[in-house]
Amino acid sequence: MERAGREGAREAAPEARAGWGYPYSASPTNPMACAPPARHAGRMTMSPSLPDNDRPPPARFALDRWTWKEIAYLLANLPMAIVGFVYTVFLVGVGAGLSVTVIGLPLLVLGLGGARGLGRAERSRARRMLGVRVEEPSPMVRGRRDRGFFSWLWSGLKDPVGWRALLYSFIRLPWGVATFAVTLVSLFVLWPVLPYLARGLTNADRAMVRGLLSPSDELERRIAELESDRGVVVDTAAADLRRIERDLHDGAQARLVALAMGLGLAKEKLTDDPEAAARMVDEAHGEVKVALQELRDLARGIHPAVLTDRGLDAALSAIASRCTVPVTVSVQLPARPAEAIEGIAYFTVSELLQNVSKHSRATAASVDVWRSGDRLMLQVGDDGAGGARLDGGTGMAGLADRLGAVDGLFVLDSPEGGPTTVTAELPWRDRLAPGTERAGAA
């Protein structure tokens, strides 16, 4: 299996229409509520500092609302730490002990999913009681079809979010015991300085939550990816503009020039040889029809009318009807996505079906389109000979680059002997009402 583009589902950013006709602007948003990025030596990095409105008010002698929240958080550390520690020890012990059997590693993968749940609970507790602004990390990628047991196992075992949540739960037990004891004693003995003591202890808690449970490292990696993808957007858009210019110059334009010359000759023969002029006009009429068909084909390659008028279901069915291999199409969408996303999905499936016709030696193929959370999922499969590769000269690498440039995902599963399954993801954006975009611009 070969993977390219975006690793896992993420917050949908404004997309770029990369590589199919004309470019759309791409401006990745920052889902983290943290300090603005700073540039150093041409590379964007995330500042670890927090905005002022993420900091609690200064600690005071009076036990105000913030102080009581911090005290409650510190007292709740012990029961939460016990639950997390017991879960971690049990999971690691059972998973490692049974790793030599069939069920050991799958149990460990399932346990890592549970660790994600513990991390989610801790993030929620820190947000509500400490005012920490920490976003949820990317969810694990879920496919609609079974991509294979070992693929699922490997993806789960290398999940960094689950492992960091386990580490957080493991180190929290001694810290939870210490903070519980210090806070409880201070309530009766050191209460005059308790606000300052609670602030110092919860600042350490804030640092642990941000360090182990926040997606900041992942976000920084994504920013670097999107910076590099910006170049792909520009290059592919320029290449497609050159392709359109070449198609017009070599196709319809050349035919129209020949048509004008033919009509000029017919005009000269109109009085001397009407029959020859009539034949030349008939030939010109045929040339006009061919030129119109070429222009229709070119317009379909930019943005087909059936896609604009009737959506993905009808447009993909039209592609499937022209494929040399029988294709079944299933589109299950609650609504139409944004025009840019819909267009990219259409041309992705179109190019994949062309590969099926040219290279697969298949007898049947299928196209499935559905929405999963904030992602638009595409899956094209065939029962052909398999063996397709991203670097095999079939255009797969270009598709992967184009999808990656709009924060998408491209997964190719094509063992020798088949079958071949290509899964693509695109960020979902709701379709704007007609005229909304123009009104907003005005």
Domain boundaries, the chain: 2-16+306-436, 53-214, 235-302
Give me the torsion for CA of 338, 320, 239, 3, rounded to 10°.
Answer: 80
345-371 burial, b if ≥16 CB within 10 A, otherwise e? Answer: bbbbbbbbbbbbeebbebeebbbbbee
Rg of the chain taking only CA atoms, in angstroms: 30
Q: Is the pLDDT of residue 51 over 50?
A: no
DSSP class of residue 409 equals E
The most confident of the ranges 30-39, 136-145, 283-292, 363-372 is 363-372
Higher pLDDT, 5 or 327: 327
pLDDT one-digit tens code per residue, 356-410: 888 888 889 999 999 988 899 999 999 888 888 877 665 788 788 778 777 788 8
Of all residues in the chain, the percent with pLDDT exceeding 70 is: 69
**Is 0.85 surpassed by the pTM of this model?**
no
Strands (E) in 89-239, as ranges, are: none
Q: Is the pLDDT of residue 29 over 60?
A: no
pLDDT at position 327 is 92
What value does the mean pLDDT of the chain take?
Answer: 74
Torsion region of 163: left, alpha or beta (phi above 0 gives left; psi -120 to 50 gives alpha): alpha
What CATH architecture is 2-16+306-436?
2-Layer Sandwich (3.30)
DSSP percent split of the chain into helix, strand, coil, nearest 5: 60, 10, 30
Q: Which CATH number fits domain 235-302: 1.20.5, 1.20.120, 3.40.190, 1.10.357?
A: 1.20.5
In terms of Cα–Cα distance, which of 405, 396, 337, 414 is closest to 369? 337
Longest CA–CA separation in the chain, Å: 120
Higher pLDDT, 48 or 407: 407
